[in-house]
């Protein structure tokens, strides 16, 4: 077990968002968190990354309760990519190198430079190395922030709608890269997504959130018309194509 969320409950002032959230993630897992707008998907990722403090319950990474970790220890274990990104006057290379910050004492080491170059290559961003973030398109910037999280070499990647700005080719390629890194390095990824068909391509575990709690959790077998209709209030068909379920709104 690499992550466990136990009895988590979170509310913003005057607004209850999450309750009774219990799940765990194993090494090599790609978990997709699904649910309607505003149900609490981003809030859950922020609780796991300690950006928000739940009113009750706890999050454990390996054996450690997250509030017992130092900022650097947490950053070495958890890489987080938020939903919104700001372009800054920073080159792509430096932005990805920043992912190494939790490991850098005085100056970037040869290993930090090597990891940065490797990740830029993996994400096909080498030609962008010297471009400034504020000169990139939304999709290019999204790839850079994912690259920065990969350079962090975390045990757990938290990605909030990582493909929302990407074209079809980049969507498919980026989720394939993340999946490959998760399996090869035996880390875990927790990803929020609106496109259920993309989630099916990416994930081997799924959680449907409804009314701030877990409505269904499991493998691809929980991707059923009944569950999707209950969560999204839209009738759908689920057909198999090449043995992979495909969700079709009716």
Ligand X SMILES: Nc1ncnc2c1ncn2[C@@H]1O[C@H](COP(=O)(O)OP(=O)(O)OP(=O)(O)O)[C@@H](O)[C@H]1O
Cβ 41 to ligand X shortest distance, Å: 4
| Shortest Å distance, C-beta 200 to ligand X | 18
Which residues in this chain contact ligand X in the complex, by CB under 6 A?
Answer: 12, 15, 17, 35, 37-43
CB of 236 to ligand X, least distance (A): 18
Query: Cβ of residue 191: shortest distance to ligand X, in angstroms?
Result: 12
- Both tokens of 92, joined, read 């792509």
CB of residue 149 to ligand X, shortest distance in Å: 18
- The secondary structure of 12-75 as a DSSP string is ETTEEEEEEEEEEE-TT-EEEEE--TTSSHHHHHHHHTTSS--SEEEEEETTEEGGGS-HHHHH
Which of 185, 136, 166, 236 is CA-nearest to residue 2?
Answer: 185
Quote the CA–CA distance of 213 and 248 in Å, as a whole number: 25
* CB nearer ligand X, residue 19 or residue 42: 42
Work out how close the CB of 165 gets to ligand X at its nearest, in angstroms, rounded to a whole number. Answer: 14
Nearer to ligand X by C-beta: 41 or 205? Answer: 41
Select 42 or 116, whichever has its Cβ closest to ligand X.
42
Rounded distance between C-alpha atoms, residue 175 and residue 16, angstroms = 32
Contact present, 207 and 34 (Cβ < 8 Å): yes
Query: Which CB atom, from 35 or from 102, has the smaller least distance to ligand X?
Result: 35
The answer to whether 245 touches 200, Cβ cutoff 8 Å, is: yes
Nearer Cβ to ligand X (120/228): 228
The residue behind tokens 């990582």 is 162
Instruction: Determine whether 233 is exposed, middle or buried from the number of CB atoms within 10 Å of its CB (0-12, 13-18, 19+).
Output: exposed
Which SS3 state, helix, strand or coil, does residue 232 take? helix
84 or 89: CB nearest ligand X: 84
Q: For residue 242, report the phi and psi dihedrals to the nearest 5 degrees.
A: 50, 40
* Number of other residues whose CB lies within 10 A of the CB of residue 88: 13
Minimum gap (Å) between residue 181 Cβ and ligand X: 24
Please say which residue, 152 or 192, places its beta carbon nearer to ligand X: 192
Strand, helix or coil for residue 230: helix
């Amino acid at each position: 077990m690499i992550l466990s969320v136990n009895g988590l409950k979170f509310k913003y002032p005057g607004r209850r968002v999450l309750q009774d959230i219990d799940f765990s993630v194993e090494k090599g897992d790609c978990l997709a968190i699904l649910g309607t707008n505003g149900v609490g998907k981003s809030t859950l990722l922020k609780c796991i990354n300690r950006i928000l403090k739940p009113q009750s319950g706890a999050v454990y990474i390996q054996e450690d309760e997250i509030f017992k970790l130092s900022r650097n220890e947490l950053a070495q274990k958890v890489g987080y990519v938020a939903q919104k990104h700001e372009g800054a006057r920073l080159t792509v290379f430096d932005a990805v190198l920043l992912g190494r910050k939790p490991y850098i004492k005085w100056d970037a080491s040869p290993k930090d430079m090597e990891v940065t170059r490797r990740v830029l290559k993996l994400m096909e961003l080498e030609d962008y190395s010297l471009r400034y973030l504020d000169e990139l398109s939304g999709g290019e910037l999204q790839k850079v922030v994912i690259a920065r999280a990969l350079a962090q070499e975390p045990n757990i990647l938290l990605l909030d709608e990582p493909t929302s700005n990407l074209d079809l080719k980049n969507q498919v390629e980026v989720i394939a890269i993340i999946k490959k890194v998760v399996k090869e390095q035996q880390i875990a990824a927790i990803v929020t997504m609106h496109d259920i068909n993309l989630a099916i391509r990416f994930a081997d575990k799924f959680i449907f959130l409804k009314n701030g709690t877990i409505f269904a959790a499991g493998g691809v077998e929980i991707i059923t018309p009944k569950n999707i209709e209950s969560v999204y209030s839209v009738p759908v068909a689920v057909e198999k194509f090449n043995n992979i379920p495909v969700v079709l709104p009716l």
